[in-house]
Amino acid sequence: MDRSPVSLAPPRRRRDDGACNALEPLLETTDFAWRRQPDLPAELTNIQWRADACDPGSILFFQRLDDGRSDAELYERYFVASAFSVLVTNRRLDFFDRLPGKGLYVTHPGDWPGVVGSFCDILYPLNLGTRSVIGITGTNGKTTTLKYLESILSAHGRRVLSIGTLGVFLDGERLVETGFTSPPLIELRRLLHTRIEQCDLIAMEVSSHALDQGRVHGIPFTDAGWTNFTQDHLDYHGDEASYFAAKRRLLDLIQPGGRLYCTSRAVADRLQVQGQTRVPVQVLEPAPLDPEALAAKPFLALEHNRRNLALAAALADRELDGVDCPHWQHLEPVDGRFECRVIGRRAIVIDFAHTPDALETILTAIRSGFPDARVMTLFGCGGDRDRGKRPLMGAAAARHSDQVILTSDNPRTEDPAAIIADILAGMHLDRSEVILDRSAAIAHLFDRLADRPPDEPWVALIAGKGHERYIDRNGRKSYYSDQDEVARNLARLGWD
């Protein structure tokens, strides 16, 4: 999801290149829908998107979203103690009269991305030169495709700046974990401006939230990839058509001469029905691999990973000028994406699958890849999000599992038991258990495996958290890791 707090700490130091001198004139000349322009107590020196990063020289850009919170809640959480001098928003807020002495500006409907972008142009100009920018969207597979692309390009000497769910990486080394699939526009522009001279190209995941909120406004994508499209994020977008329309906006950002690669025929057909696209759309089939490749990289036995590889390879080939080599050799497993531990005839799989399609896909792949094994699935659903997908995920688990354990997965402000009741509504499986505490649920999964004969093949899928190292409950994120729990139970049973 794209609403999490982040660990970024934006710089507060003054710039000495004269760019800051243009902030006040730009405020004066921008066509705002409403403004309150007082005498400023300090010179404006920086722009921020986080209220807690502001100082008296800050312009705070705050995008008001329909997220269920009241203006009063927002005021208490973000504004009451913030030191900014100017606030720019996309709509009038009820607490404006509680901000005496602050400059207040409200953009016209639809102008928000352009206004933010114009201020970014002053402090963080986008000097890409000949560097390519590659975007990857889709409901599932964005992160895996990005990491495959990064691995392939790095193996051929390209310095890649990658931005996505797992964080910001340069030459394979993590710079920062943002907590976003696609960072807010100010942070994205700051990253690109700061790191551009250190890389040869930029590759980034582009979420539907980012496209809808204008977080990638003005980013000139050279080429792009679209993995698939299935139900997700309807709590935010409202309906499936709006969700698809948000993702489709990526095509408007692809530059002339670029193209969109897609591994879903359904997505390509839908784009065609909606009218001619600005750039060509090319559909790719799963990458064919020989037994040597599958033995060396067992995660490529999954068809969706071969689709991710096909997409990454096509995007890489556009940059590598026809390099002819087997790209699979350069790949490594991706954090939280089909992480597999094999102990005798038992396999433990950790995967981020958190949508109906993702769960269906990975369970189908497990059934295909391990035809003799029984399957145990442990998963939950996040709170305060699309409730409609919960019974669908329950149905997918029931179809493909011999045993299901339902547990918590970021309940947020919802009752975990109520979330599981929604999941159970889609299940018709007697062999299901409910253990709300996720650590206890994983321990129970291992106990179930230990009770089975050692020569009986089992695959245990632990789904939903993947790379995440926290549980989000009642507004607080506490450290938690499926990987740690698996390691703890392997040691407990002497299986490590």
The pLDDT of residue 18 is 62
Ranges under pLDDT 70 in the chain: 1-18, 41, 231, 233-234, 237, 322-324
CA angle 173, 176, 182 (to 5 degrees): 110
Rounded to two decimals, what is the model's pTM?
Answer: 0.84
Cβ burial, residue 65 (10 Å; 0-12/13-18/19+): middle
CATH topology of domain 339-492: Protein-Tyrosine Phosphatase; Chain A (3.90.190)
**Is the sign of the CA dihedral 366, 369, 375, 376 positive or negative?**
negative
Instruction: Give residues with Cβ within 8 angstroms of 23, minimum separation 6.
Output: 44, 45, 47, 59, 119, 122, 123
What does residue 400 show for φ and ψ, rounded to 5 degrees? -115, 5
* Inter-residue contact 205 to 241 (CB < 8 Å): no
The Cα-based distances of 419 to 160, 225, 425 in angstroms read 40, 33, 10
Give residue 345's Cα distance to chain centre: 34
* Inter-residue contact 228 to 286 (CB < 8 Å): no
CA angle 409, 410, 416 (to 5 degrees): 70
Domain ranges within the chain, ordered by starting residue: 19-123, 132-330, 339-492
Q: Where are the alpha helices (DSSP H) in 132-181?
A: 142-155
Nearest to 284 by CA among 223, 230, 237: 223
What does residue 261 show for φ and ψ, rounded to 5 degrees? -100, 140
Eight-class DSSP state of 76: I
* 401-446 pLDDT per residue, tens: 999 999 999 999 999 999 999 999 999 777 799 999 999 999 999 9
Strands lying side by side in the sheet with 132-137? 173-176, 167-170, 160-164, 201-205, 132-137, 223-226, 260-262, 281-283
Query: Is 132-330 CATH 3.40.1190.10?
Result: yes
At the top level of CATH, the class of 19-123 is alpha beta
> How far is 283 from 267, CA to CA, in rounded Å?
9
* 32-69 pLDDT per residue, tens: 999 998 777 679 999 999 999 999 999 999 999 988 88
The Cα-based distances of 22 to 29, 30, 36, 45, 192 in angstroms read 11, 12, 19, 9, 21
> How far is 140 from 157, CA to CA, in rounded Å?
28
The pLDDT of residue 8 is 52
The pLDDT of residue 42 is 74
Crossing angle of helices 303-320 and 356-369, rounded to 10°: 100
Q: Do the domains 339-492 and 132-330 match in fold?
A: no
> How far is 312 from 331, CA to CA, in rounded Å?
11
The Cα-based distances of 161 to 131, 141, 204, 210 in angstroms read 11, 19, 8, 18
